Chain A
Amino acid sequence: MTTNPFILDAECLHKAFGGLMAISDLSFKVREGEIKSVIGPNGAGKTTLFNLITGVHPASSGKIHFQGKPINGLKPHVIARLGISRTFQTVELFSQMTVLENVMVGCHPRSRAGLFSSGFRLPHMRKEEKWIRDQSFEILKLGSLLGRADLPAGSLPLGEQKTLEVLRALATGPKLILLDEPAAGLNEVETQKMADLLYSIRDSGVTILLVEHDMSLVMKVSDEILVINYGEKIAEGPPAQIQNDQKVIEAYLGGEALLCLN
């Protein structure tokens, strides 16, 4: 038995919304333990790709393997339980719940108490509840949100909401975490903090798939970069190679933001 160095393996993915090809014949692999970024102009299909991997949308065709097992067609909650977690481009916090509760919800896949044991507060449920709480405090510490624990999540400034989403995803105990523009709207200091958080997540053994527009962040943290445009792969490789790739430069020059490709 050979150990598979790739945690995620997507083969010939297609996704059509009506007549629009949002993802087209896309194949790529994610190596276990790395930070891999997906970049491309707006509307390139990055968020759609995340939705395919996490089961929010079914792929029109193609295969996705996670840790060697096919995950196509599985429900989002099943995929989450297998070890793929994510954040959302437009913040999707449980805004009426507190910061702490948000992270506690994140602990869902790692706890078991059901209707019966919760309603009767059986001993093992109480023990688990304490574990969830402790664990959640630990995770909040990781993102320096301990002082915000009891505030409604919706009341936090954007930067902290973005951090909280990452922490909530982390609470599920993922092996692979998909982050959709975690630094969008953040200032320089907050972006640096986010980068530090990404490193500490990676160092804890969690593989990261990152969608991000902040090119200096992407170039700094990524082990590998996948570039897509109109749903198709146009380049893939380490940052140094991507920066000098003619097709990438054209795609971006033709598009909106000029790259800070150094």
Chain B
Amino acid sequence: MGKNNYLKLLVMAAIIAVVPLIVSGDYHLSILVFMGINCMVVVGLSLLMGYAGQISLGHAAFFGIGAYSTGILTTQFGLSIYAAFLCGILFSSLVAVIIGIPALRLQGHYLAIATLGIGEIIYIIFNEMVGLTGGPSGLSNIPAFHVGGYPFSHSIQYYYLVWGALLVILWFSLNLIHSRVGRALKAMHGSEVAAGAMGINLSAYKIQIFVLSAIYASIAGSIYAHFVSFIAPNNFAFMNSIMFLMMGVVGGLHNIWGAVMGASLMTFLPEYLRVFKEFDILIYGAILLAILLFMPEGFLEGIPMLYRKYFKRGEA
């Protein structure tokens, strides 16, 4: 995957190890957990949008499938957490395949529409299948995550779980980008007709990446369910899909690291803008607007670009 990315992963691992020495308290740690969970989903979206060139407007649904799968299977069917995790992954993959195959066979943005629809359908299912999901009032008493019989009792354990899992997902994703598959995706972006002439099965790759992104979201959702122990359909509504998208756009979807940055910033901002009391929404909105207006590529690439522009102008 290139030395550069290995180095970045190492630096990230070091930061993950050091942060708990500085940050303490359940509140701050839980924000970091949510940050990692969001990163996981948005990294998948980055692969799907930035690399495979497809838009999903329903990723909260896969996040929800992961959450409800573990929630329902552990509380009502007595399945072990790991088996429930796997079932979530299987369900999400299945749904992704079922909507992905017809939508991605066609050129154009049919996936956006299909995911919009499936997101709504799944949201309705969460609400209506009261016997299983608890309906609008939600599903509670989801057991804590545990390793070898020792249940997680503190946010710090979830912190290591989430960020450790994210490291693995990043490693996998970066490997993928720097491989035959990643080159095929990039080629597809460059010229679909030339990619086809090179023997690249475009729709097959798009479907695979879509399924992969659904799996990431599902894993994130499962961890989320165990962490918060209570889930309700509203956590997985359309707005949440849009939120994931926004995170990616803000950081820059054409770069996996941009996705990580975007998801981190947008989880972090609303929490710490609370010090501004009633102005928090205003400032939040202003920051988003500024990023989208001045850095359409996302802030990870946008800030250095603006800096260079400004710097050069200063010199001349």
Contacts and interface: CB of A to CB of B under 8 A. Distances in A.
Contacts of A101: 183, 186
Contacts of B198: 77, 80, 85, 105-106, 108-109, 168, 172
Given A92-B191, A94-B190, A94-B194, A105 B183 contact: yes
B197 interface: yes
Nearest to B190: A94
A143 to B, nearest CB: 17
B104 interface: no
Nearest to B204: A77
Interface in A63-104: 75-77, 80-81, 85-86, 88, 92-97, 101, 104
A128 B195 CA distance: 20
A26 interface: no
A192 B198 CA distance: 26
Contact of B175 (A80, A109, A120): A120
A93 B208 contact: no
Contacts of B190: 93-97
Interface stretch (A3-11, A110-118, A241-249): A110-118
A85 B197 contact: yes
Nearest to B208: A115
B202 interface: yes
Contacts of A81: 199
Contacts of B194: 88, 92-94
A21 interface: no
Contacts of A55: 196
Contacts of A125: 179-180
Contacts of B31: none
Q: Which of B172, B195, B198, B200 has the most CB of A within 10 A?
A: B198
Which 4 residue pairs are nearest across A and B when measured between Cβ atoms?
A94-B190, A118-B179, A109-B199, A76-B196
Interface of B: 1, 172-173, 175-176, 179-184, 186-187, 189-191, 193-202, 208-209, 212
19 contacts: A56-B193, A77-B196, A80-B196, A86-B197, A92-B193, A94-B187, A94-B190, A97-B183, A101-B186, A105-B184, A108-B180, A108-B184, A111-B180, A113-B180, A114-B208, A115-B176, A115-B209, A119-B172, A128-B180
